[in-house]
């Protein structure tokens, strides 16, 4: 990937809070035109990464770049090319939706009132309503419409659909897909709903305890990680300490091993230790997410 292909770049980004590293040597490129999901359990470092990217927080070391510029010194004109929606984003409660658009239009370069109105129509939002009378889902939709009105090159979504019903979440997914279809659009988002991620994302990165464990195109990541089930005549032996083994679990005569980048070494080990049957299981994104985020951090994992 060339510099021009990466809309977002994290270069060994590290952020300490006291004696705890929220992020450690986080390196990742987000390709132009992608829908990139940044995943991790609570406290994994996702929001810290986004705050550094938006210039809201200084890294302890390393850097974040957006649109080819250092995120820490991003000029106002460049910020106008970024749309951002966070979970529970606050909107002025006494304002009508239409007034919010007018206020935003007066303060944000490139804000297009027609685009804002079109998104409201698509999402079924009455612009004459006051924000305080909207449901939580409707407020999230208005925040999204405000972020999209300037037609940003990059849209950053920090779990804005958290707690919303499936229908509203699906609306967010459809908008993200439409954005990618528009020339040059890129979406970087976080979510705790893995089914949504698998439906819409084309790239994924998994953080665990501030460390990047795996990243790449969703299909590539899923193809690299499998679960090997080894069956023995007697009790299963202790799991091997082999490169690429992410997680193991034993139950009676069966030993299951989650393996990255090829099960051949594990399969050979199992045969030499008396395995009478081997099964290889392909994992869903949710399965591999769980295995990556419940296993010890031993380094960069299988980051691509």
Contact 72, 57 (CB under 8 A): no
Range from 2-16, 213-227, 277-291 carrying the lowest mean pLDDT: 2-16
The residue among 73, 66, 75, 150 whose CA lies nearest residue 108 is 150
- Rounded to whole angstroms, how far apart are CA atoms 281 and 268? 16
Residue 165 has pLDDT above 50, yes or no: yes
Share the mean pLDDT of the chain.
Answer: 87
Q: How confident is the model at residue 119 (pLDDT cuts 50, 70, 90)?
A: confident
Annotate the chain with DSSP letters as a single string: --GGGEEEEEEEEEEEETTEEEEEEEEEEEETT-EEEEE-STTSSHHHHHHHHTTSS--SEEEEEETTEEGGG--HHHHTTEEEEETT----TTSBHHHHHHHHHHHSTT--HHHHHHHHHHHT--TTSBGGGS-HHHHHHHHHHHHHTT--SEEEEESTTTT--HHHHHHHHHHHHHHHHSTT-EEEEE-S-HHHHHHH-SEEEEEETTEEEEEEEHHHHHHHEEEEEEEESSSPPPPP--TTEEEEEEETTEEEEEEES-SHHHHHHHHHTTEEEEEEEEPPHHHHHHHHHSS---SSTEE-
Q: Is the pLDDT of residue 3 over 50?
A: no
pLDDT of 193: 81
Which domains does the chain possess?
3-209 (3.40.50.300), 221-297 (3.30.70)
Region 248-252: mean pLDDT is 88
- The pLDDT of residue 170 is 78
Please give the residue that has the higher pLDDT: either 244 or 303: 244
Give yes or no for residue 299 having a pLDDT over 50: no
Dist. CA 130–CA 142, nearest whole Å: 11
pLDDT digits (tens, 9 = 90+) for 185-220: 899 999 888 888 888 899 999 999 999 999 999 999
Q: Please give the Cα distance from 303 to 212 (Å, whole number).
A: 7
Per-residue confidence (pLDDT) for residue 102, from 0 to 100: 94
Percent of the chain with pLDDT over 90: 52
CA 263 vs CA 223, 257, 259, 281: distances in Å:
11, 9, 6, 11
Name the band, by pLDDT with cuts 50, 70 and 90, for residue 4: low
pLDDT band at 300 (very low <50, low <70, confident <90, very high): very low
pLDDT digits 0-9 by tens, 215-241: 999 999 998 899 999 999 998 998 888
pLDDT in tens, 49-106: 999 999 999 999 999 999 999 999 988 888 888 999 887 678 899 999 999 999 988 8
pLDDT of residue 40: 93
């Amino acid at each position: 990937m060339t510099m021009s292909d990466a809309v977002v770049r994290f270069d060994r980004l590290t952020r300490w809070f006291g004696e705890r590293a929220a992020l450690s040597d986080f390196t990742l490129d987000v390709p132009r035109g992608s829908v990139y999901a940044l995943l991790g359990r609570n406290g994994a470092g996702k929001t810290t990464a986004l705050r550094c990217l938006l210039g809201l927080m200084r890294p302890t070391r390393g850097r974040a770049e957006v649109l080819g510029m250092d995120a820490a010194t991003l000029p106002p004109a460049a910020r106008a090319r970024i749309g951002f929606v966070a979970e529970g984003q606050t909107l002025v409660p006494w304002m009508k939706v239409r007034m919010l658009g007018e206020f935003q239009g007066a303060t944000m370069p490139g804000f297009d009132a027609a685009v804002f109105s079109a998104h409201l129509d698509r999402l079924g939002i009455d612009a004459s309503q006051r924000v305080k009378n909207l449901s939580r889902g409707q407020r999230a939709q208005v925040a999204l419409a405000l972020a999209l009105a300037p037609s940003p090159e990059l849209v950053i979504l920090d779990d804005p659909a958290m707690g919303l019903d499936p229908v509203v979440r699906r609306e967010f997914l459809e908008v993200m897909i439409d954005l990618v279809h528009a020339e040059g659009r890129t979406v970087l988002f976080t979510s705790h709903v893995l089914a949504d991620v698998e439906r819409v994302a084309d790239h994924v990165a998994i953080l665990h305890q501030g460390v990047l464990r795996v990243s790449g195109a969703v299909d590539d990541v899923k193809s690299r990680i499998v679960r090997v089930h080894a069956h023995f005549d007697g009790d299963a032996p202790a799991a091997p300490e082999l490169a690429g083994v992410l997680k193991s679990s034993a139950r009676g005569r069966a030993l299951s091993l989650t393996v990255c980048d090829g099960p051949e070494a594990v399969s050979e080990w199992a045969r030499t230790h008396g395995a009478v049957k081997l099964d290889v299981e392909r994992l869903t994104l949710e399965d591999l997410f769980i295995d990556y985020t419940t296993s010890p951090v031993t380094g960069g994992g299988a980051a691509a």
